[in-house]
Each structure stands twice: as structure tokens, then as C-alpha cells.
């Protein structure tokens, strides 16, 4: 082992990694302070609090910071309330439409809330995906053409989580230059060659990265639990262990 190198690296990926969760139970304060682009109104819909009263072409969106990953998942329960007239609901991720649903006035089994004339319908949606950007903008939009006395939509139970987390190692400070990625479950155990000296590390806050080197901090193990935009120059390990 060359002098100045790091002899050991260990990555512990702690689960679950929930980036954001909102209005999943009966906590009104949590439902009201959701941070999406339009506040809406929080009301009880047959035993569930929902964020609703969205009408016409109103867009509800939110942008999330996304750590390195192989797979993420978001899930949400939407509510069709009252008389949608074969109108279309859309979900977009970074401005690409990934889900469309068209529902008609009598879709749904029972009247849950809103006007009593029409049936209502919750519909659960979940999507697993990998994005290359470090931001994800989720956008909900319906194309309704009447007012609250006739039709609206709402949502609750939103969760965004990382299913397969990664750690990104970069050749330059501020996450620039060549990238080397290690993800949970990678089979690089004990013998992964990292092709360059590492200057920055991007990771999520639920991962514990341990490094040790004979000439680094007196040979003590260094532990990182947040991203490191610029490390002092040091030689990177030639030995990798994943847990």
C-alpha cells in the first residue's frame, strides 16, 4: 500500500430513506403545511384529511432535492371529487408526463365528500424511477372546466423515498470531473479500483461512509454522513467493502 493512501472504505446504507412525506395521517397541521405550489384547503373526506378544492387548470407542483440513487419511488393518493366529465388528470416528473387518468362523472363507488349528487373516487398511484438530475419536480394537473359546485380534485398520503441509494465520488471539488458511483448491493466487494483521487463526495444523510488511512488523521477512521463538497487532497483507497 502506497504511503498516504486510505486502506479501508465502508459504506452503510441505512433504510428507509424518506426524503419527504406529507399528509399521511390525520395530522391537520402536516396536511396544511405541505409546501406545494398551491395551498388548497384541507378537509375531511369520509375519515381522511385531504388537501383539495383544486379546480380548473390549477397546477400543484413541488421540487425536491434528490441524492444519488439507482431507484426512487413516489406515491400519492388522489381524489376524484364530484362530476369529472371524462376529464384527464396528469402527473409529470421534471416536465415529462408519466401518468394520465381520465375519469367520468359516475366513476367511484360512493359519495365520500364534496356534493352528494356524484360519486367520488380515491386512486392510489406509485412510480419507481431513476433520474439523472439532482432535482425532481413533481407536478399534478387536472383539466377541469367547471367550478367547486361541480368538480374538483385533491390528494393526500404523499411519500418520496430512495429505494436504492448510492454514493457519488468525484475527481474534482464541487462534484465536478469524473464520477465513480457505488450503490447499495453493488458487487464490488473488497476489490474495486477507484480510477482517480477523490475530491468531493455526494451522498444522502442516511448513509454512513467510513474511510481510514495510515497517514490520514493519525490513522483514525474518518466518518462522513453528509455530502463533502471539497476534501483536502489525499490518495483514495484501492480496497472497497460494501455492506
Ligand X SMILES: *[C@@H]1O[C@H](CO)[C@@H](O)[C@H](O)[C@H]1NC(C)=O
Cα 68–Cα 39–Cα 44 angle in degrees, nearest 5:
105
Q: Using CB under 6 A, pick the residue from 6, 9, 19, 167 that binds ligand X.
A: 19
**What is the distance in angstroms between the CA of the first residue and the CA of the last residue of the chain?**
23
Total residues in contact with ligand X, by rule CB under 6 A: 8
Q: Shortest distance, CB of residue 60 to ligand X, whole angstroms?
A: 18
Q: Is residue 75 a contact residue for ligand X (CB under 6 A)?
A: yes
Q: Shortest distance, CB of residue 157 to ligand X, whole angstroms?
A: 4
Q: Is residue 77 a contact residue for ligand X (CB under 6 A)?
A: yes
Whole-angstrom distance, CA of residue 29 vs CA of residue 208: 32
Q: Shortest distance, CB of residue 77 to ligand X, whole angstroms?
A: 4
Site for ligand X in 146-165 (CB under 6 A): 157, 159
- Please identify, using beta-carbon distances, which residue of 157 and 200 lies nearer to ligand X: 157
Q: Is residue 124 a contact residue for ligand X (CB under 6 A)?
A: yes
Whole-angstrom distance, CA of residue 221 vs CA of residue 185: 23
Q: Using CB under 6 A, pick the residue from 128, 226, 229, 230 that binds ligand X.
A: 226
Q: Shortest distance, CB of residue 17 to ligand X, whole angstroms?
A: 9
Whole-angstrom distance, CA of residue 149 vs CA of residue 22: 27
Site for ligand X in 165-204 (CB under 6 A): none
Which residues contact ligand X (rule: CB under 6 A)?
A: 19, 75, 77, 124, 157, 159, 205, 226
Amino acid at each position: 500500500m502506497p504511503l498516504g493512501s486510505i486502506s479501508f472504505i465502508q459504506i452503510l446504507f441505512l433504510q428507509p430513506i424518506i426524503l419527504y412525506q406529507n399528509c399521511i395521517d390525520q395530522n391537520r397541521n402536516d396536511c396544511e403545511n405541505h409546501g406545494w405550489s398551491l395551498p388548497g384547503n384541507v378537509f375531511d373526506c369520509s375519515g381522511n384529511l385531504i388537501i383539495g378544492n383544486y379546480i380548473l387548470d390549477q397546477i400543484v407542483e413541488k421540487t425536491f432535492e434528490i441524492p444519488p440513487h439507482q431507484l426512487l419511488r413516489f406515491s400519492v393518493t388522489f381524489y376524484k371529487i364530484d362530476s369529472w366529465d371524462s376529464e384527464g388528470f396528469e402527473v409529470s416528473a421534471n416536465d415529462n408526463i408519466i401518468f394520465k387518468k381520465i375519469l367520468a362523472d359516475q366513476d367511484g363507488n360512493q359519495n365520500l365528500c364534496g356534493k352528494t349528487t356524484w360519486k367520488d373516487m380515491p386512486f392510489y398511484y406509485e412510480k419507481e424511477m431513476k433520474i439523472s438530475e439532482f432535482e425532481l419536480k413533481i407536478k399534478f394537473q387536472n383539466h377541469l372546466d367547471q367550478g367547486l359546485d361541480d368538480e374538483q380534485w385533491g390528494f393526500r398520503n404523499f411519500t418520496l423515498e430512495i429505494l436504492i441509494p448510492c454514493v457519488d465520488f468525484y475527481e474534482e471539488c464541487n462534484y465536478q470531473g469524473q464520477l465513480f458511483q457505488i450503490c447499495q448491493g453493488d458487487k464490488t466487494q473488497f476489490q474495486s479500483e477507484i480510477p482517480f483521487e477523490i475530491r468531493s463526495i455526494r451522498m444522502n444523510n442516511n448513509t454512513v461512509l467510513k474511510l481510514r488511512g495510515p497517514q490520514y488523521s493519525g490513522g483514525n477512521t474518518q466518518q462522513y454522513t453528509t455530502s463533502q463538497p471539497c476534501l483536502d487532497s489525499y490518495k483514495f483507497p484501492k480496497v472497497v467493502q460494501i455492506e
